[in-house]
Structure 1
């Protein structure tokens, strides 16, 4: 990982849009050239993140997904920054719209078709051994060519073999926790109302 000076970061930040931040500072920036910076803080000096920074995990996951033919961000550079410490991934985002955005913004969306495609996509991920604990409609993108892809991929593991039934179930449970997503889904498609 390359060292990023605070001066260069501040220069980039001046012309960037801050897309996400919390009480510790910026988390995601869209730079003037359309690329993104995602910043990860170290929550503890004794955590696994000290040995395997989240930015590196993001890059490794992107490489694994690309080998599987699954659309995802393209990593450009990895950085580290001090005072305060951050591991940073600089990447080109994938084009498209998240499923969450589509549900909110497109009243003519054919939800049945989208969720049929989503079901097949998740099964494909599981068959490829992709376990994504942050799997939700805000992290799944419908690309301009009509395929689904993934973003925000640091919280993921690629096992290289199909997931067990238990792990598949846990992945679906993670998705079901996001009640605001399912509130936008027509009642006929709500979990539990779909005919089997």
Structure 2
């Protein structure tokens, strides 16, 4: 990881648009050239993130997903910013629209086709050994060429072997627990996912 100087950061920040922030500060910036800066704070001084920063994990996961031919952001560089301390990843975003966004804006969305594709995509992830603990419709993207891909990828693991049945079920249960998303999905499309009947 490179050191990101305060001068360079503020130069980028000048014309950037803040996409996400919390009470600790800015988290995601859209730069003037269309690339993204994602900033990760250290939650404690005695954290494993000191040894393996989230920005590096994001970059390593992007490289692993690309080897598996799974669409995802393309990392440009990773940095350390010291005032305040952040690990930073600079990347080209994955083009397309999140499934969450499509559900909210596309009135004529063909849900049966899309969610059948989603079920196949998740099965493919599991067969390829991708375990994504934060899997939800807000970090699955439908790309302009009709593929599904992943964003916000710091919290996943590529295990190098197909997932066990219990890990697959845990992944699905996490996906299906976001009721604000699934309330916008038709009953017929939800029926593609058998775990709906076994939750709780």
Q: Per the shorter chain, which TM-score range? A: over 0.9
Shift in Å, 1:83: 2.1
Structure 2: unaligned runs, 5 residues or longer: none
Secondary structure in 1 matching 2:153: coil
Shift in Å, 1:190: 3.1
Equivalence for 2:68:
68
Confirm or deny that 1:109 pairs with 2:115: no
Number of residues paired by the alignment? 196
Superposed CA offset, 1:93-137 (max 9, x none):
111111111111100100000000000000000000000011100
Counterparts of 2:105 and 2:13 in 1: how far apart (Å)? 29
Equivalence for 2:53:
53
When the two structures are superposed, what TM-score results if normalisation uses the length of structure 2?
0.94
Structure 1: unaligned runs, 5 residues or longer: none
> How does 1:84-163 map onto structure 2 within 5 Å?
84-163=84-163
Equivalence for 1:177:
177
Counterparts of 1:192 and 1:73 in 2: how far apart (Å)? 28
Shift in Å, 1:191: 5.3
- The RMSD of aligned alpha carbons is 1.7
Q: Are the equivalent residues in 2 in contact too, given 1:78–1:90 (CA < 8 A)? A: yes
Q: Are the equivalent residues in 2 in contact too, given 1:41–1:87 (CA < 8 A)? A: yes
Counterparts of 2:128 and 2:19 in 1: how far apart (Å)? 31
When the two structures are superposed, what TM-score results if normalisation uses the length of structure 1?
0.96
